[in-house]
Amino acid sequence: VAFGYRRVAEGEKQGLVNEVFARVASRYDIMNDLMSGGLHRLWKDDMVAWLSPPKGPAPYAVLDVAGGTGDIAQRILQAAGRNCRMTLCDISPDMLAEGRRRMQQTGFARRCRFSVGNAEALPFPDRSFDAYTIAFGIRNVTHIDRALAEAYRVLKPGGRFLCLEFSEVDIPGLDALYDAYSFTAIPAIGKIVTGDGAPYRYLVESIRTFPNQEAFKAMIAAAGFSRATYRSLSGGIVAIHSGWRI
Ligand code: SAM
């Protein structure tokens, strides 16, 4: 399977991905801001706006997979009614610990559960959640189709799937600029801030090998989701995909 541009044995990829995130966990937020010029905040706001979690008193259970540092969970809890409950699931205990620490700081931790788990084999029963979100996570999993099947399985009928992920730049001119920026500047910033550029080379390469908007939409539909659709943001640098379990 692809690990960035390298080919690695299927069983090897997740371990390599885990090493990347264990290494960057404590600097993860500042790196996001530096590398995206703060744009990741707007993209995450857009995803939560599209989810538009109910503000009323009805219970609403959201699973945020690859929940890392709690960025998505925090936004959802801010936007939703008081009976919204978040479950953060991440394969990296280091990223999850960072998330717990931050949710405690913001006072949202009592409405959160933290669970170490793999997107490809979620440790939750069928039909448990009203919504499933995943931001900048799915391109790290070894089998995207298995992760989508798991998302479908744990959603209740009527449940919503939303995924924020890097995608294909579709503005002529911006693509060349974006290439130059990502292949040179991002590993360089990574090296300065974390002392190691290699994890960031992987991150950039994994963006290029991820399916584009239409291909990913087809995968979501193939997993059984209805009304699969997407919105491209910032010229396609990222896209938000949506689907419903009917
Ligand atoms: N969602 C957060 C955000 O948007 O800031 C974190 C995104 S971070 C780029 C990717 C996260 O995916 C890391 O925390 C990593 O540990 C997690 N991850 C990687 N492979 C995973 C898997 N197979 N299952 C669950 N989480 C995984």
Q: Ligand 1 pocket: which residues have CB below 6 Å?
A: 14, 17, 21, 65-69, 71-72, 90-92, 95, 118-120, 135-137, 140-141
The secondary structure of 137-200 as a DSSP string is -GGGSS-HHHHHHHHHHHEEEEEEEEEEEE----STTHHHHHHHIIIIIHHHHHHHHHS-SHHH
Ligand 1 geometric centre to CA of 137 (Å) = 4
Distance CA 205, CA 74 (A): 29
46 pLDDT exceeds 90?
yes
* pTM score, whole prediction: 0.95
pLDDT in tens, 157-208: 999 999 999 999 989 899 899 988 999 989 998 888 888 888 888 889 999 9
Ligand 1 geometric centre to CA of 139 (Å) = 9
Which fold would CATH assign to domain 2-244? Rossmann fold (3.40.50)
pLDDT in tens, 152-169: 999 999 999 999 999 999
> Taking the domains of the chain in order of start, what are their residue ranges?
2-244
DSSP strand pairing (129-135 vs 155-166): parallel
